[in-house]
Amino acid sequence: MQVMNPRCAALDLGLKALIAGETDAERLADLAHPRLQVKRERLVEVLHGRLTLQQRRLLAMYLKLIETIDQLLGYLSWRDSKAAILLFNRNKDFSKVLSTISEVVRAHRNFQKDEGNRGETAFRYAFRHKDDAAKLLHLSVIVFDIPSPAGHAQAMD
């Protein structure tokens, strides 16, 4: 079992609250880690505003991608050298999803290097093994767009 850093846990709670629709800046500020080096008043000021439904969906997808990478790295043994994540997108803005995947993947603590794209919807990265920093794993992220049925998209917005 992996123990989460308390700062990461607080960030995770805050992100999940935003995704769930929490808009009260005071409540969101309460989720911040006590050792955060920002005054609470400034944090409340920054947290005012609204996330659109689309932004919430993208944020949820990014958080899920990081969780999936963590889970996958936990499953791989030292002998494994290649793995893949298939990501199915139901968001409207597929181009936005594609353009930000690398940023999200690069933020992972085990990320080593970008090994380039394989077309417009396939990305390849090198990660350090969770138990051996000298061992590299090659991870492909392949993204598929799943269009909404006609009429269904309007009902959701």
In the predicted model, what is the mean pLDDT of residues 92-103?
86
Residue 13: which domain range?
1-51
What is the pLDDT confidence band of residue 1, given thresholds at 50, 70 and 90? Answer: very low
Domain identity same for 78 and 125: yes
Q: Confirm if 99 and 135 have CB atoms less than 8 A apart.
A: no
**Strongest mean pLDDT among 34-43, 56-65, 76-85:** 76-85
CATH number at residue 143: 3.30.460
- What pLDDT sits at residue 41? 74
Domain identity same for 42 and 77: no
Beta strands at 82-89 and 122-128: parallel, antiparallel or unpaired: unpaired
The residue ranking higher by pLDDT, 35 or 22, is 22
Domain count, the chain: 2
Distance CA 17, CA 64 (A): 14
